Structure formats: C-alpha cells, structure tokens
Amino acid sequence: MKKITLLLAAFIGLTALQSCTIEEYYDENYVDGYSQVFELTNETISTQEDAYTYSATWNFTTAIFDSDNVLVYRWQGNSWTLVPVSYNLGGNDMVKYDYDFTRFDVKVYFSANFPVNELSNAEYNEFVYRQTFRVVVVPGGFAQKINYNDYNATISALGLENAPIKTLKLKK
C-alpha cells in the first residue's frame, strides 16, 4: 500500500511540476516582417551605473519575440562596428561598449577601467557624447550563416537594404 501511495504521489508531483510553454509561430522564410533596424542618433550615454560604467536604454516600439536576437552596431565616422568592442587609449587605459536586451528594450553600456569622469574632453566627445548606434533585430528562425561583423552583409542577408530605419525613444 505504501508503494502505491508513493508512486501516486510521485506521479502527481511530476505532473504538477511540468512547466507551461508559450510557443511563438512565424514563417521562417518570411524575414521582412520580423527583421527590423533601428537607429539611435546623437545620443549621449549618460546614465551612471557606477564610477566606471555609463549606460543608455531605449524601448522597442513593439516587443520582439523571445526567440529573436539583437545586434548593436556603433558608427565610427566611416563604418559600423559590431558591439561589444574595446578601444585602447594608451598605457593601461581601456574603454569598451557592450549591450544587453530584453523583449522590450536594448541597453548600451560604456565602461572604462578607470573612472569615466577622468576621460579627457576629446575622449568624452569621441566615446560618450552624441553617439550613433544601429540596432538590428534578427529573427530566431533565421538560419543563414552571416558575417555579423559586417553590417552591410547582415542587412543584405536579412533583406533590409531598402527597409525604413526606425528610431527608438530613449528611456527616461
């Protein structure tokens, strides 16, 4: 009798502990409806996380799918550079950009291995003040191999060469 009760309790416990899943369906061959490009122009990365890190957060206009991925590129005057990226300022001084994202927003971080307020005016203007980024949403079902380091190749593979580039609002 104890064995039956134990087996019944184990079965009920396993059944109760099953997680719910939410499935998102979209046609993997239909890229244009899900791939998007956003531009963040003349933005100052001004939210101080700590002495070494500043950030800025932008809300997506509509939530992206859980399965989607996000790429962030930084404009360097003549080309787009994939983030994360680091820059050597000389000596042991380094600065870098990184990012994270949720379904609802994307956050770009600027950090240094020294207090950010010790940047020279020229360094501040080059790395923090009036930055331009492009955010590319890549569908989770997109399986084509791409050199994501090359912004133009990424946009071309996603079929976004003529797509409108949308803007995002800075989260306050």
State how many domains the chain has. Answer: 1
Residue 160 lies in a domain: yes
Residue 8's SS3 state is helix
How far is Cα 88 from Cα 52, in angstroms, rounded to an integer?
15
Give the Å distances, CA to CA, from 23 to 20, 61, 63, 134. Answer: 10, 22, 15, 28
Would 23 be classed as within a structural domain? no
Whether residue 87 is contained in a domain is answered as yes
Q: Is residue 54 part of a domain?
A: yes
Amino acid symbol at 22: I
Return the amino acid letter for 143.
A
Q: Is residue 7 assigned to a domain? A: no
Check residue 32 and give its pLDDT.
42
pLDDT category of residue 142 using cuts at 50, 70 and 90: confident
**Contact between residue 127 and residue 120 where contact means Cβ atoms under 8 Å apart:** no
pLDDT tens-digit map of 64-117: 998 899 999 999 989 999 999 999 998 899 999 999 999 999 999 999 999 999
Amino acid identity of residue 57, one-letter, is T
pLDDT for the residue 162: 86
Name the burial class of residue 35, with classes exposed (0-12), middle (13-18) and buried (19+) by CB atoms within 10 angstroms of its CB. buried
Residue 100 lies in a domain: yes
Sign of the Cα pseudo-torsion (59, 65, 66, 70, in order) = negative
Range of the domain at 36: 31-170
Residue 3 inside a domain? The answer is no
> What tens digit of pLDDT does each residue of 29-65 get?
334 447 889 998 888 898 999 999 999 999 998 899 9
Per the domain annotation, does 8 fall within a domain?
no
Helix runs in 110-159, H state only? 121-127, 151-157
For residues 133 and 73, is the Cβ–Cβ distance under 8 A?
A: yes
